[in-house]
């Protein structure tokens, strides 16, 4: 509980003694490039194979001849949009971006760069962390959309090229019984997950004490804590927005 209290106090300091809009604008653009553009290839690659594997496994479990083929792509669509694209990508995002944030801030802390900012009268938390959180919230939903498109495309390729399902049936299944709220729900989750990963990783990195070994420990703790927070938030959001 003490650690949670320190985390919320850390978040409160984000909005104290802020810098100018121009300063944040430049910092946010830099972070968007690092977080978003730098993660596109990995997200696209992983999500494409996830979609392909999900299609094959779904088809394998359709043991009854009474179930039409288009149900395969319908199941893949729901799995990708509701869970695989936002949540599985969040775990990968925490491993790549979260560890980078924690190690970067941890290195700045042990080399006394953070202390130098404080001596200059700059709120180091607001200057260093707020742009990362804003960039994460802006970029991660775009990565989730990319992951969803790539996953469905991967499923389409594997399903049609291996003869599991015809192209017409796959497209029909994607459009059958479509509920627009599933996309809204996925984007809501993506914003929450982006905030959790960026803020928790920043908190762990900013509060690093010691030397290079402690930076590695903080980076590991950032990924572990972020993944746990994402999974808890995933359940709470599903219970809040989907439960009847």
**Beta carbons of 237 and 181 less than 8 angstroms apart:** no
- Picking from 239, 206, 224, the residue whose alpha carbon sits closest to that of residue 9 is 206
| 23-66: pLDDT as tens digits | 888 888 988 888 888 888 999 999 999 999 988 888 888 767 77
Whether the predicted pLDDT of 162 surpasses 80: yes
Whether the predicted pLDDT of 12 surpasses 80: yes
Whether the predicted pLDDT of 137 surpasses 90: yes
Task: Kindly state whether residue 110 falls inside one of the protein's structural domains.
Answer: yes
| Residue 231 pLDDT | 93
| Residue 192 pLDDT | 94
Q: Look up residue 14 and give its DSSP letter.
A: G
- Picking from 154, 147, 145, 143, the residue whose alpha carbon sits closest to that of residue 73 is 154
Pick 90 or 23 by higher pLDDT. 90
- Reported as a pLDDT band with limits 50, 70 and 90, residue 146 is very high
Give residues with Cβ within 8 angstroms of 47, minimum separation 6.
84, 85, 89, 146, 147, 148, 150, 151, 154
Average pLDDT over residues 135-143: 92
* Alpha carbon separation from 108 to 3, 208, 230 (Å, rounded): 21, 9, 26
* Domain enclosing residue 53, as ranges: 22-60+67-236
| Residue 241 pLDDT | 85
Whether the predicted pLDDT of 18 surpasses 80: no
Whether the predicted pLDDT of 157 surpasses 80: yes
Direct distance between the N- and C-terminal alpha carbons of the chain, in angstroms, rounded to an integer: 32
Task: Kindly state whether residue 36 falls inside one of the protein's structural domains.
Answer: yes
| Residue 63 pLDDT | 65
Query: What is the rounded distance in angstroms from the CA atom of residue 171 to the CA atom of residue 168?
Result: 5
Task: Kindly state whether residue 135 falls inside one of the protein's structural domains.
Answer: yes
Whether the predicted pLDDT of 134 surpasses 70: yes
Average pLDDT, the chain: 87
Tell me how far the alpha carbon of residue 127 is from its chain's centroid: 23
Give residues with Cβ within 8 angstroms of 191, minimum separation 6.
137, 140, 141
Task: Kindly state whether residue 8 falls inside one of the protein's structural domains.
Answer: no
Task: Supply the pTM of this predicted model.
Answer: 0.89
Query: What is the rounded distance in angstroms from the CA atom of residue 239 to the CA atom of residue 244?
Result: 9
| Residue 195 pLDDT | 94
Task: Kindly state whether residue 111 falls inside one of the protein's structural domains.
Answer: yes
Task: Kindly state whether residue 15 falls inside one of the protein's structural domains.
Answer: no
Average pLDDT over residues 4-26: 81
Number of independent structural domains in the chain: 1
- Reported as a pLDDT band with limits 50, 70 and 90, residue 244 is low
Question: 191: how many CB neighbours lie within 10 A of its CB?
Answer: 16
| 166-195: pLDDT as tens digits | 889 888 888 888 888 888 999 999 999 999
Task: Kindly state whether residue 244 falls inside one of the protein's structural domains.
Answer: no
């Amino acid at each position: 509980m003490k650690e949670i209290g320190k985390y919320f106090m850390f978040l409160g300091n984000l909005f104290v003694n802020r810098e100018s809009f121009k300063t944040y604008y430049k910092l946010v653009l830099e972070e968007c490039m690092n977080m978003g553009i730098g993660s596109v290839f990995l997200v696209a690659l992983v999500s494409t194979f996830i979609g392909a594997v999900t299609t094959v496994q779904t088809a394998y479990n359709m043991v009854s001849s009474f179930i039409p083929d288009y149900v395969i792509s319908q199941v893949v669509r729901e799995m990708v949009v509701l869970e695989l694209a936002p949540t599985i990508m969040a775990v990968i995002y925490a491993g790549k971006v979260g560890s980078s944030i924690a190690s970067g801030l941890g290195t700045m802390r042990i080399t006394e760069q953070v202390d130098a900012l404080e001596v200059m009268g700059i709120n180091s938390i607001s200057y260093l962390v707020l742009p990362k959180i804003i960039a994460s919230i802006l970029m991660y939903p775009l990565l989730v959309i990319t992951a969803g498109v790539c996953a469905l495309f991967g499923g389409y390729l594997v399903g049609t090229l291996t003869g599991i399902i015809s192209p017409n049936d796959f497209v029909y299944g994607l459009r059958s019984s479509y509920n627009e709220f599933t996309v809204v729900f996925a984007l809501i989750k993506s914003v929450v997950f982006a905030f959790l990963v960026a803020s928790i990783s920043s908190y762990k990195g900013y509060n690093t004490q010691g030397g290079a070994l402690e930076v590695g420990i903080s980076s590991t703790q950032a990924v572990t804590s972020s993944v746990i927070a994402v999974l808890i938030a995933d359940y709470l959001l599903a219970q809040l927005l989907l439960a009847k």
